[in-house]
Structure 1
Amino acid sequence: MFINTYAPYGADGIIIRVEADIRRGIPGIDITGLAQEAVREARERVRAAFRNSGFVFPQDRVLINLAPAGLRKDGAALDLPIALAVMTAAGIFPQSGDTEGGELLVMGELELSGRIRPVRGVLAATAAALKLGIREFIVPAENAREAAILASTRVGAAATLAEAAHILAIRRETGSLPPAGLSTDPRAPGTAGTGWGDFAEVRGQERYKRALEIAAAGGHNLLVFGPPGAGKTMLARRLPSIMAPLTPEEAVEVTRLHSLAGRTIFESEGRLISHPPFRSPHHSASAEGILGGGKTVRPGEISLAHFGALFLDEAPEFRKNVIQSLREPLEDRMMTISRADGPVRLPADFQLILAANPCPCGRLGMRPGQGAQGCFCSAEEIRRYWRKFGAALLDRVELRLAVSPPELGQMTKPDGENSADIARRVLYAVEIQRERFKKTGIRRNARMSTGMIDRFCPLSANAETAFRTAAEKLGLSGRAYHGALRVARTIADLEGAESIKTVHILEAIQHRRQGDDPYDVFSAGG
């Protein structure tokens, strides 16, 4: 008999077959199948867990094979399947067929005491197993609700090696796992929208609020720049409060990626992540942390922001190679990591939100009376600072605007529109797009291909004239030209308009005019 387990590899991972054979010889354990250090160390963990759980480890030569043999296996999640495979080969369980284990998947890390520790990637493992017809799972108790999201009640939750052995014994005798008493509604909300704040709490910056509304509705990238105190970060961090909830299919994919990365924020409730993720890494993050990778490839921040937003605060402070490496994922919606044994692909369909000061000292663009002493940066320092973005990346950012700190009169105004009202408009526009792009694989207007733009972005005669005039005046590239049309389509969707009108085109162009030059901050509006 063999037992199935799972090894993370890219977005899907692979199903591993664990086989055990006991033969006469010097007592010991051999593990074959390109086992890495953490897997090889399982020999001692399994032996100690056997003894401390009341089982007698075989006093013979034990051979463990991990198939497919040509793929590296790493991580401690193979401890429990190895232990159960040894128990089966040693005759601790009644034999009932060599292929019975093909319908069962086991995951878990063993402590020396026999206690089972939780592992990452359980939801991803469940999804991969279900594709192969595997319907039953034995997992750590802490991961049981995570597995039950997709596997219903056919989950055995084990806190110790003895419990896992008991569950497997019952399965051998009755033909099915004992009921675990788990219940979960995968459609129920998981991570709740708490702690985001409300747009009404930020006074002024109406243009910036409007740009965030358009970005949330159409999935567009956004750059905002201006002196400190303008509210760039404060408003950007309130973006999740107006974003539309994920569909059930999107929620499964997002939660699966977070499971692969070892995130357990949803496990306490046993539900899917139902709201678009909002990731905000520190500017000291490495390229591997942002893009993904490592000895055992794990999703980076761009994959954890899948179907959500990646917010880079103080964006020019990030390493230049990190910022520039975002260009390909923004275009492909996929991160491809090259490895000697083949490329690993991780989904990365995210929208990029950039916030920046216009210069290294941050004072460029400050008005008199705001406590500013003038910019201390030379023209060369400002150019070097701004060059980190590069024209190629900025060309992929459809919404760009400069902001300045609000004046005292704006600070004393009553609260503006709240997030709930804006979120209703965003959801209305998103539903229009879901219907428009049904069965096309496209989620938002920002992902439209050139052919789709010709089909879904009809312009009135006046709008087309205005657009051509503005495009020629601004010298828009081909990408910027189509990007402005996508933004105009989103603005029209927010109003429920079938065709794109002149007012929609003019607003889209207005959001495109700034951002190529840091000195645009002098034309910033409140």
Structure 2
Amino acid sequence: MGYARTTTVCTIGASSVTVTVEASVFKSSSKGADTVRMSGLPDSVVNQAQTRVRSAMANSALRFPDKSISVNFAPASVPTTGSAADLALAVTIMCADDLLPVERLADTVLLAELGLDGGLRPVPGTLPALLEARRSGLRTAIVAPENAAEASIVEGLTILAPPDLATLVAWVFGQTPLDPVPRPPRPEPPRLPDLSDVRGQPLARRALEIAAAGGHHMLMVGPPGAGKTMLAERLPSIMPPLSDAEAVEVTSLHSLRGRFTGGSAALIHHAPFEAPHHSITMQALVGGGTGAIGPGSLALAHRGVLFIDEAPEWPRSVLDSLRQPLECGEVRIRRANTAISYPAKVTLVLAANPCACAPNKPVDCTCPPLKRRGYLTRISRPLLDRIDLRVNLPPVPPSAILTDLTEAEPSESVAKRVQRAREAAAARWAEAGETWGLNSEVPGPALRSARWRLPAPVRKYVDELLMKERITARGYDRVLKLAWTIADLREHASPTADDVAEASELRLGYSVR
């Protein structure tokens, strides 16, 4: 009886677990010889791996053992999903049958799908998987060539990318050299759309700056061509670059979606921008689906911007699925025996036309009055209550397009103010012993506590709105958060009455003074 074990990594949601693949090969006196029995918690894709392994070995001129084979994925309590364990399974079986020396694969993680021809195929989630392998003390990773660029991002691992199983076997025997994949130089940051392209819309630009500084959600209502999409696309350009830890976190989510397969790869150091179409399903937006559970657009926008254009045209149930993740900053998906979570700290930007016919001028609207009034109510009130900034955009005047005007303020100068405001907020909350980074993350009760409660004259406008029931209790807290962000942008030690008034107006979408 022969025994061997190798190492692979299983990805569950946004986390990864190092998995030991064990194989025992033995002669059987029963008629059940030449069978493979798997234990642990393999899914259907893993159970089908034996078919891929048999064919891959046969087409690589390698002999599959004509014996009984027992395979175990340890820890047995961890669900083993996907095809990333194919290569580890094939190599472990060969080592257990004394066809390969297992010693050459010590401290090595095997991560690739096998094609029937023996070729190594890419798998999603290579980056987070190899980060976990490095934390587990492994020193070498064998991946598919299409995953080589992504794998090379991980420092401290020697990356090998043989094209097929036969080449890997020849390398194990020392017959064929494999050159380590070089670590690529850090690329230049991408050029993002600039705010200087936007003509007019000073109120929307101001709201965009506040949204970037405090991580506040935003709704823009205006006719087609008013600049809603342009403004949303330029929000990432005024948000601070991601730290190395944040870049790894964000890039790992994109890796789980397979976005780096076959091309160049680098850590994402800018705020991501996701703009799904209104025909998207709930599973594609928040994550999930049948079979393998993956991150949706919401998680892919983590630490960046999720842009929902033509929001009233979206199914209400799909939009309302955002409510809970917006509150807690993560997506939680539950199945019968599985609970998976993805981080989802996003800045949500909604855009909408004022009515279904979407005229350039209100006087040209052909919608019946009842239909016009009800158009924006397609966005549920509970979701709207989580939107901090509401801006009505007028049509862009012809003079803003036809006249040679001085270029609008570029993203670079706005980003500097946003950076200073974020640093001020982070320093304030850190000095208080709190972990909040953005004002939007501060709990409402904290802002109403004795330490941070604003004086009554300062709170005048927002207190009146609450007394007149023009805002909810949640809306009251969100006005206070906005006021702190506005104060940080103006470099005030704490919000003034004007800061609170501006925050109240931006919350309502109209003037209160």
Question: Does the alignment reach a TM-score above 0.5?
Answer: yes
- Counterpart of 1:182 in structure 2 is 182
Q: CA deviation at 1:284?
A: 0.4
Q: Deviations over 1:165-196 (max 9, x none)?
A: 355556xxxxxx987152256xx467x433x4
Select the residue among 190, 193, 211 that pairs with 1:193.
Answer: 190
| 1:318 alignment partner in structure 2 | 314
Say whether 1:405 aligns with 2:395: yes
Q: Deviations over 1:349-375 (max 9, x none)?
A: 111100011222223x8245xxx3x23
Whether 2:5 is the aligned partner of 1:11: answer: no
Work out the percentage of aligned pairs sharing the same amino acid.
Answer: 37
Q: Is the 8 A contact 2:466 2:473 kept in 1?
A: no
Which SS does the other structure have where 1:406 is aligned?
coil
1:390 aligned to 2:380?
yes
Q: Within 5 A, what are the aligned runs for 1:280-291?
A: 280-291=275-286
- Residue 253 (structure 1) shift: 0.8
- Give the alignment partner of residue 494 of structure 1, picking from 489, 501, 504: 489
Q: Which residue of 2 aligns with 1:517?
A: none
CA shift, 1:378, in A, is 4.3
Q: Please say if residues 462 and 476 of structure 2, whose CA atoms lie closer than 8 Å, have aligned partners that are also in contact.
A: no
Q: Which residue identity is paired with 1:478? A: A
- On the 8 A contact 1:360/1:377 being kept in 2, the answer is no
- 1:132 matched to which residue of 2? 136
- Which shifted more, 346-355 or 159-168? 159-168
Give the distance between the partners of 1:236 and 1:251, measured in 2 at CA: 21
| Structure 2 residues not aligned, in runs of 5+ | none
Unaligned runs of 5+ in 1: 171-176, 515-519
Q: Is the 8 A contact 1:457 1:485 kept in 2?
A: no
CA contact (8 A) 2:462 2:479 kept: no
Partner of 1:484: 479
Q: Secondary structure at the match of 2:154?
A: helix
Structure 1, 24-33 or 309-318: larger mean CA deviation: 24-33
**Contact between 2:309 and 2:351, CA under 8 Å: does it hold in 1?**
yes
The reply on whether 1:117 has 2:108 as its aligned counterpart is no
Give the match for residue 441 of structure 2. 447
1: distance between equivalents of 2:187 and 2:46?
A: 36
CA deviations over 1:290-319 (Å, ceiling 9, x no partner): 110022211111111111111000011111
Report the equivalent of 1:174.
none
- Which amino acid is 2:34 matched to? P
Aligned residue in 2 for 1:279: 274
1:282-361 paired onto structure 2 within 5 Å: 282-294=277-289, 295-361=291-357
The letter of the residue matching 2:427 is E
Shift of 1:437: 4.2
CA contact (8 A) 1:460 1:502 kept: no
Tell me the amino acid that sits aligned with residue 239 of structure 2. M
Is 1:104–1:135's contact at 8 Å kept on the other side of the alignment? yes
Contact kept, 8 Å, 1:202 with 1:415, in 2: the verdict is no
Contact preservation (8 Å) 1:148, 1:155 = yes
What secondary structure, in the 3-state scheme, does the structure 2 residue paired with 1:46 have? helix
May I ask how many residue pairs the two structures share in their alignment?
A: 497
Distance 1:34 1:153 in 2: 28
Instruction: List structure 1 runs of 4+ shifted beyond 6 angstroms.
Output: none
CA offset at residue 328 of structure 1?
Answer: 0.5
* Residue in structure 2 matched with residue 2 of structure 1 by the alignment: 5
Q: Which residue of 2 aligns with 1:75?
A: 82
The question of 1:90 aligning with 2:97 is answered yes
Could you tell me which amino acid in structure 1 is paired with residue 331 of structure 2?
A: M
Shift of 1:71: 4.9
Q: What TM-score, normalized to structure 2?
A: 0.89
Q: What is the CA–CA distance in structure 2 between the aligned matches of 1:285 and 1:262, rounded to whole Å?
A: 19
Q: Which amino acid aligns with 2:250?
A: V
Q: Does 1:429 align with 2:421?
A: yes
- The equivalent of 1:44 in structure 2 is 51
How many angstroms does 1:94 deviate by? 2.9
Report the 3-state secondary structure (helix = DSSP H, G, I; strand = E; otherwise coil) of the residue aligned with 2:94. helix
**Deviation for aligned residue 1:212:** 0.8
Q: By how many angstroms is 1:138 displaced?
A: 1.8
Aligned equivalent of 1:217, options 213, 219, 236: 213
Does residue 248 of structure 2 align to residue 252 of structure 1?
A: yes
Residue 46 of structure 1 contacts residue 83 of structure 1 at CA under 8 Å; is this kept in 2?
yes
Indicate the larger mover: 462-471 or 154-163: 462-471
Partner of 1:230: 226
Separation in structure 1 between the aligned mates of residue 157 and residue 39 of structure 2, nearest angstrom: 34
Q: CA deviation at 1:95?
A: 5.1
Residue number in structure 1 paired with 2:507: 512
Contact preservation (8 Å) 1:104, 1:134: yes
Structure 2 counterpart SS, 1:16: strand
User: For 1:126, what is the secondary structure of its paired residue?
Assistant: helix
Equivalent residue, structure 2, for 1:146: 150
Q: Assess if the C-alpha contact under 8 Å between 1:217 and 1:490 holds in 2.
A: yes
